[in-house]
Structure 1
Amino acid sequence: MLFKSLPLAGAYKIDVEPFSDHRGSFARLFCVKELKEIGLEKSLRQINFSSTLKAGTIRGMHYQKPPHAEVKIVRCIKGKVFDVVVDLRFDSPTFLHWHGEILSRENMRGIYIPEGFAHGFQVLEPESELIYLHTADYSPGFEGAVRYDDPCIGIEWPLEVTDISERDLQHPLVDNDFEGIKL
């Protein structure tokens, strides 16, 4: 696996080095030893899957609050998405900054998302599928979110929004009183 630092402290783009021959291909998508080199100390607790039918759909921007904050590793295994992370760590030099990456089956890219980041994505191809590796159990009482269209964050989504859940539309906007996440 090849790790490239993103402009948000502690976040990484993960590329793979696939081996291909007449049978098909092989690539390592997860390696504890290699991930430890970029700071992953916790073990995986969950692996989740999502499927989104319609291009333009947005899911996000979700996170878990301490003490259930989590590291996520996200990969697109079918289709294509614009995957976005937002640094919500109050004491971070990149507080409220965002970064997006195209994840697809073809590029096999993943995103390493540290604790204290919100995550979401927009589907660029119909019937896109993602897998998420989490270092914490889902804890409903500790979930948080910010709005996908928050002007204080200013995410530039590549497509017109075609669908978003009612729940995601109700997430709060960041304001002057937003304290961020203190890890």
Structure 2
Amino acid sequence: MLVRELSVPGALEFTPVQYDDDRGVFLEWFREDEFSKATGHSLHLAQANCSVSRAGTLRGIHFAELPPSQAKLVTCVHGAALDVVVDLRVGSPTFGRWDAVTLDDDDRRAVYLPVGVGHAFMALADETVVNYLCSEPYSPGREHAIHPLDPAIGIEWPATARDGTDLSPLLSPKDDAAPTLAEVRARGVLASYESCLAFSRGELAP
């Protein structure tokens, strides 16, 4: 398994080794030993999610308050998606910046999102299936969203689908009504960079 650090500190891309023959393909998309070696800590698995999306569906930017926030390991098992991580940790050297990885059923990469960062993705094909391993269960009172088209963040969302057709962002009413990064920061719900690092090291109680 190959590991690459994204430009948002703590966010990682995992590219598995695939074994294919005339029957199909086999791969290990998560290994605890490889994950712990790359991150310095284990992944506490509390919830597994699956979403199925039509081309153009744009989900996010979502994040959860710290503690305990919610770390995620995300992969695409069918179709394709542009997966985006946004640094929302106040005091981080890359606060407000984003990075992206194309997740698809060819390379079968996975992305790790540490606590305190935001997550969003756009489906690039119909019936795109994205799976998430989450470190904490969904907690409605601690979940927040930032508008994925916030120009201050400036995510470059694809305009073309996997098959070459035009894409238009399709947002849920909740995501379409989400505030900007500046508005969310003013509300005081963003965690500090140092507290996120301390939590990941087990130094901050949930």
TM-score (norm 2): 0.84
> Which has the larger strand fraction?
1
Gaps of 5+ in 1: none
Superposed displacement of residue 20, structure 1: 1.8
* SS at structure 1 position matched to 2:148: coil
Identity within the alignment, %? 36
Contact 2:32–2:43 (Cα < 8 Å) also in 1: no
Superposed displacement of residue 127, structure 1: 1.0
Paired residue type of 2:47: Q
**Equivalent residue for 1:171?**
178
Superposed displacement of residue 41, structure 1: 2.7
Contact 1:71–1:115 (Cα < 8 Å) also in 2: yes
Judge which range, 22-31 or 94-103, deviates more: 22-31
**What is the CA–CA distance in structure 1 between the aligned matches of 2:113 and 2:37, rounded to whole Å?**
15
Gaps of 5+ in 2: 160-166, 196-206
Paired residue type of 1:102: T
Superposed displacement of residue 170, structure 1: 1.1
**Equivalent residue for 1:56?**
56
**What is the CA–CA distance in structure 2 between the aligned matches of 1:171 and 1:83, rounded to whole Å?**
19
Superposed displacement of residue 68, structure 1: 2.5
Contact 1:68–1:139 (Cα < 8 Å) also in 2: no
**Equivalent residue for 1:114?**
114
* SS at structure 1 position matched to 2:181: coil
> Map of 1:1-183 to 2, 5 A cutoff?
1-39=1-39, 40-53=41-54, 55-159=55-159, 160-175=167-182, 178=185, 180-182=190-192, 183=195
Contact 2:85–2:99 (Cα < 8 Å) also in 1: yes
Judge which range, 27-36 or 172-181, deviates more: 172-181
TM-score (norm 1): 0.94
Cα shift readout 1:57-99 (whole Å, capped 9, x = no counterpart):
1111101111121210000111011111101011211111001
Cα shift readout 1:121-153 (whole Å, capped 9, x = no counterpart):
111111101000001111111111111011111
What is the Cα-based RMSD across aligned positions, in Å? 1.5
Count how many residue pairs are aligned between Structure 1 and Structure 2. 182
**What is the CA–CA distance in structure 2 between the aligned matches of 1:80 and 1:9, rounded to whole Å?**
24
Runs of 4+ in structure 1 deviating by more than 4 angstroms, as ranges, are none
* SS at structure 2 position matched to 1:153: coil
> Which has the larger helix fraction?
2
Contact 1:83–1:120 (Cα < 8 Å) also in 2: yes
Contact 1:68–1:142 (Cα < 8 Å) also in 2: no
